[in-house]
Chain A
Amino acid sequence: MVIADRLSARLVGAVTRPGRLGALGGPALWALFFLILLVPIGLFLLVAVSPAIVGQGRAWLTFANFATALQGQTLQGLVDSLVVSATTAVISVAVALGLAWLVQRTTIPGRGLWTLLVWVVLLTPSFLVSLGWERLLEPDGILVHLGVPTTGIANVFFGPVGVVFVLTTKGVPFAYFAISAALGALGREFEDAARTHGAGRWAALRLVLPILAPAFWSALAIVFAETISDFGVATTIAATANFPIATQTLFNAVDNFPANFPVAAAVGWLLVGSVGLALVAQSRALRGRSYQVLSGRTRPSVRVRLGRRGRALALTAMGAFFGLSLGVPFAGALSASLVKPTASSITWNSLTLANYATVLHHPTLLGPLGLSAALACVAATVAVVVGVIVARTLTRRRAGPSARVLDLLLLATVGLPGIVLGAGYIFAYNLPWLNDIGIHLYGTLILLDMAYLANTVPSTTRLLVGPMAQVQFGLHDAARVHGSGGLRAWRTTVVPLLSRSLLWAWLFGFTGILFELPISQLLYPPGQETLAVAINAAFANYSYAPGTTLMVVSVGFAVIVVGVVLLLFRIGAPRGWQRVGSAR
């Protein structure tokens, strides 16, 4: 660590600045967060202690809702969520480190394909992954039809083990992008310096790994927060196994009649508190050190040349991961979408393409896909722009207390399920006095997209924090000193270094919004169903095959968008942009 710090200071010349309000992005940024995050979430959480404030009870000050939340199934759900999220975060980071190392630092064949597949895993809804596994392992499922008994493994899988497993496959991409950007961008100068000074391969590794600490901690924090707020697994495998999870108990408090917003808000407080602990752990681990190593002079890293045996092992590991995280769910979902609704078992005669014909020729099913894609495009673009500024603010070495507040706010938002934002937006933007002064935001696409933005900014920011922490702003400052304008300096020095991460962050925001359900359910304007609402409605009306088919079609659409955007980047972006962070 001492060597790392010395190298960081001498070789790289880290630039640090004192934190100040202006450096936080200014009043405009705070105003934006005030409107899209603080007010709605604050109002929702306030309901826990003061239900009367938005007409959800008579008490103006009470703590009884916390007592209710801390007993019975809600308490059990919270404990389960904490254990599941912590376990998932650690396993995800370990798996992601292996994947990132293979892709970024070895000569494993098909590196572009593996990166693309990580993206496909990230954009695949956890609901779909759960559905696929259920189709595989259930009685009379695919494996049983293939003559493989599943009773034993099903008993283990449909419970905490399966929940952690599916959430890990969903968590790995978050960790992967946080780690791989850092691993890929870490030039070979540190290893070279260490080796020159007599360090062996192991000692060089011990030097390099601590430099990646921001990425590890960022990965742990984001996976923990994303997992604790996951809704797809909570409502599928966990619900079927009667394994209570906090997001499910929070949702039930709102979804049951009469809706109990105060208890839901109390659960929200506890989730925020849990994520706050993760954030404290992260900031303590990174306090007082600089990890800025990425610059225009960064030398491409050297890949470990794999022998025939090593290549076979690496490909097997990759195949196993993507087979489990993608192959199984897609096989399950595809089989579900191809089976006739009348079929009680899966045979060749029970297969049909009729469900696809229904979806493709039914405007009420395809319309929501177009609407969600447009809303996702807008919100993801804004989220990336805001995310860059916030990530820069958070990665300043001596960021002030306001930056820490901002960090807590953002990560807490990741940790809160979408339904909190949905309800909070109704509380905040359906106030009678707003209507009186002529503001009618509730029931419009604008408010829905604002909520999407609020739900996306924290995650995209977290994805960008790792890479941003490694950008040397000396290059930017040099450009400014030499007379470059502010925007030009960013465009020519920082954007090239971050271009890949920005691209990934946008795609992540886009796909996340495309399949967003809880916020949409509470905020979608009359007559304008979003994609997830349409899919959910199909399932609610027992139209399972069309519902699954629409989901498969939508995932296919998302994959095409990802492919097109990556292709455009390859064709249109300057070669220098593409070279940064790549390895020879």
Chain B
Amino acid sequence: MRQAFRSHRTLVGVAGALTAAAIAVTALATLPRIAGSQRAILTSRAHVAKVPLIVYSAQGYDMNVVKAFQRATGIPTELVCDSTGPLLARISAQRNNPQWGLLWVDGNQPFAALDQQGLMLRGFEPSVPWNATADKLIPADKSFVPTGITIAATLIYNRKKVADPPTDFRQLLLPKYRGLLGMNNPSISGPTYPYVSGLMAYLGGVTQGERFLLQLKANGLHIFPTNGNTLHALQIGQIGMATIQSSAIIGAIEQNPAWGISFFKGVTLLPSNIGIDPKAPAAEVAEAKRFATYVLSPAGQHQMLIGDPHGDSNFWPVLRGESPRRGMPTLSSVPYQVTNPYLWGPREPAINSWFTTHMVQ
């Protein structure tokens, strides 16, 4: 019995050794990268202290911009590239000990909410030539800065199925559009909430918005999880038109001439923004400010325009003297509205919950 027990202990010992060995292998695999970062710090300390800048981004062009920024400044920049939801989940989970330096995603409501929780550096505004639209987007406490503009959701339609597309949200209730419209579920697709809340703001409030959405449902509205599912439904003819983010629409139209875009009256602006972690080391905060300034430079804007031509690169600039990609309509031709993120942001859980209960089920 004792021998059996001893043999078991031997096995445990071997297991422990193997575990340690495996971890050591992983550590060795990681070491060159860690060492690389450390070297960057040591070699640069003689000049300016450089620490790795950690960028959390959901932008399709972020890799291009990060590489160009590193080349231009020599600042080691590490990218965590993912959808907005997981990035914000990471930030929320790290609340006690933030490990990010800069956040770059679409929508001003998350930034406003993070600002209210004390998780945004206030008082930073790059000295750049903002255009008139950007002036409406910069918050009073300067806790985040816009980098580009899209429309939260407007209409994409299949010309073969919808000959005369609607030009106003209310026209979507007409019987001739019955069963043709699709949209994303805001409780799954994060960027859809600005569209839903903007629609409510445009129609006069939450109550009016909910009533309108229920009428849409009665007119055969299809609800899909995310942009991808909605666009795919349009592609396979399950629906004839959909309301999704303008950058995705413009990218999709370039690849499919049968599709068209229509800007409704009262569509909501959805800016991409940069915010900085106030608890990051001073050196990283300084680098994050340089990153934001670089993004808003002609070189940074160029990288944004070429980095994701079928998606996020289809934005309107926030700077005077910069132009959107060729073929984009002028922003002045779009009848847009700007909503208050500090008013509509806190309502997100309640409105999403209502949507799930009354629209999806």
Contact = CB atoms under 8 A, between A and B. Distances in A.
A109 interface: no
B11 A242 contact: no
Interface residues of A, number: 89
Contact of B311 (A20, A55, A426, A541): A541
Given A252-B188, A444-B30, A542-B228, A72 B310 contact: no
Interface residues of B, number: 89
Interface string B347-359: 0110011001100
B96 A480 contact: no
Given A426-B93, A480-B3, 6 more contacts: A256-B348, A364-B63, A382-B18, A480-B7, A490-B11, A540-B228
Interface string A52-90: 001110000000000000001100100000000000000
16 contacts: A32-B19, A235-B225, A242-B185, A257-B110, A258-B92, A379-B22, A445-B30, A446-B26, A449-B26, A486-B3, A486-B7, A486-B8, A522-B86, A533-B82, A540-B58, A540-B82
A442 B225 contact: no
Interface in A110-168: 138-141
Interface in A346-389: 364, 374-375, 378-379, 381-382, 385-386, 388-389
Contacts of B22: 378-379, 381-382, 449
Interface in B51-78: 52, 54-55, 58, 60, 63, 78
A23 B5 contact: yes
B238 A28 contact: no
A515 interface: no
Interface string B23-60: 10111011001100000000000000000101100101
A386 B15 contact: yes
A557 interface: no
Given A254-B89, A258-B92, A526-B54, A385 B14 contact: yes
Given A261-B92, A449-B26, A23 B8 contact: yes
A28 B7 contact: no
A537 B80 CA distance: 11
Given A26-B9, A389-B15, A487-B10, A138 B236 contact: yes
Nearest to B239: A139
Nearest to A445: B30
A29 B15 CA distance: 9
A544 B232 contact: yes
Contacts of B9: 22, 26, 486
Interface stretch (A271-279, A296-304, A430-438): A430-438
Nearest to B310: A542
B190 A257 contact: yes
Contact of B12 (A26, A252, A446, A533): A26
A240 interface: yes
Nearest to B234: A344
A539 interface: yes
B342 to A, nearest CB: 14
A431 B83 contact: no
Contacts of B95: 54-56
B216 interface: no
B85 A255 contact: yes
Interface centre among A23, A139, A256 (most CB of B within 10 A): A256
Contacts of A442: 94, 99
A252 B226 CA distance: 13
Given A23-B8, A539-B228, A239 B308 contact: no
A196 interface: no
A73 B361 contact: yes
A542 B227 contact: yes
Interface centre among B89, B90, B232, B312 (most CB of A within 10 A): B89
Given A378-B22, A542-B310, A139 B238 contact: yes
Nearest to B258: A344
